[in-house]
Every structure is written in C-alpha cells, then in structure tokens.
Amino acid sequence: MTLIRKFARPLLGATFIYDGVEKLRNPDEAAEELSPALNDISGFVPQAEQLSANPRLTAQVLGGVQVAAGLALAVGKFPRVAAFALSGAHKLNSYAEFRSAELQSPGDEVVQRKILLKNIAILGGLSFALVDLNGRPSLAWRAEHISKRAKKQGTRFGDNTRKWAEHLGDDAAKTLSSWEKDAKKSFKKTEKQARKAVRSAAAQANKAKDKVS
C-alpha cells in the first residue's frame, strides 16, 4: 500500500463512520430525513415499500453499513467491496439530503448547491477507491496480456513447426537421394554380374561345341 492510500482511505472512510454513528445514535432524526427519499424510491420500485414502511429501522441499518464499510475502507480490508457499499449508501444519503432540504431564501439554494457538489466529489473519491487495485493490473489487462502471450507462443510454435517440417523435408530428400544412389550402384553391380555370367555361359557353350565337332 502506497503512502497516498494510507492517508486517503482513512480520510474517506472517516466521513461515513461519523455519519453512520450519528444515524445509530439518533435514528428518529435520521428516519425523518430519509422518509421523503424512501417514499419517492418506493413509488418507482415497489419492492422498496418495506424500507419506507419502517424508516427508523432503515436508518439504523444504513448507519451500521456505513460504520462497517467505512472502517473496512479505512484499514484497507476489502476496500473495493467497502467502496461499493459506501457508494450505494452515499447515493441514498445524498438524495435524502437534497430531498429534505428546505429552501426558504436564495442563500439556501447556494448552500444546497455546495452540499450537492461536495457529495459528488465524495462519490468521485469512492469511484477511485472502487477501481483501485493496489498497483495490480486489472482483469481486462491480464486477459489481454494472456491473449497476446498465447498468440505469441502460438506464432513461435508455428514457426518452430515450420522449420522442423522444412528440416525434416531436407533430411527426407537427402535420405531418398542416398537410397537412389545406392539403388543405382546395386543395379550397376547386378548388371555387371549378369553380363559376366552371360559371357561365361557363352564361353562354356563354345568350348562344348568345339569338343563335339
């Protein structure tokens, strides 16, 4: 872990730890702030009606998730999983904070805009923590690297096979040429022996003819 990670993760996690503790200490106040956002969400997602039906319990669970994930991120234990959980909780908190804000003067709009920008900045930090691999290459890079290495090894194997085949072809040609030369020598030797045998037989036949005459 680099020096930046040692400081950045605890700083980012401390925000959620503090907010989670506050939700656990004051669940009624947190439930009041979450209720408008939970009602809006349940209107789009019917499965979320259970969350809006008991906002106090939802606030306590959300606070517990923030404390646990914030501590995990701060100490560097499963930081990507912790960042993923915190990003979901942060989106809900940001929308709830924006939804429950009371705009009574132009100054309130400026404050709300600053809070929104702050929440977006925190979400950006969580996004970096979510994709941080502690210096290790990503799965996509490793898959591409393995593919390139396999392709390179396949090309090398193909070249070696081609050279081996060419070498084998040269050896086969040399072997055939040697066999051809040996065959020619054997044929010439056999031809000489046959001619010699014919001449010998002819000479013996002439001798026998002379004796008869």
Query: How would DSSP label each residue in 106-164?
Result: HHHHHHHHHHHHHHHHHHHHHHHHHH--TTPPPHHHHHHHHHHHHHHHHHHHHHHHHHH
For the chain, the domain total comes to 1
- Look at residue 209 and tell me whether its pLDDT is greater than 60: no
∠ at Cα 95 (94, 99), nearest 5°?
120
Which tops the pLDDT comparison, 136 or 11? 11
Q: Mind listing the pLDDT tens digit for each residue in 129-151?
A: 877 776 555 555 555 656 666 66
- Please check whether residue 166 lies inside any domain of the structure: no
- Please check whether residue 150 lies inside any domain of the structure: no
∠ at Cα 89 (60, 12), nearest 5°?
105
- Please check whether residue 197 lies inside any domain of the structure: no
- Please check whether residue 78 lies inside any domain of the structure: yes
Question: Whole-model pTM?
Answer: 0.57
Contact criterion met (CB below 8 Å) for 160 and 128 = no
- Please check whether residue 154 lies inside any domain of the structure: no
User: 98 is in which domain, residue-wise?
Assistant: 3-136
- Please check whether residue 175 lies inside any domain of the structure: no
- Please check whether residue 111 lies inside any domain of the structure: yes
pLDDT-derived band at 205 (thresholds 50, 70, 90) equals low
- Please check whether residue 199 lies inside any domain of the structure: no
Backbone angles phi, psi at 197, to 5 degrees: -65, -40
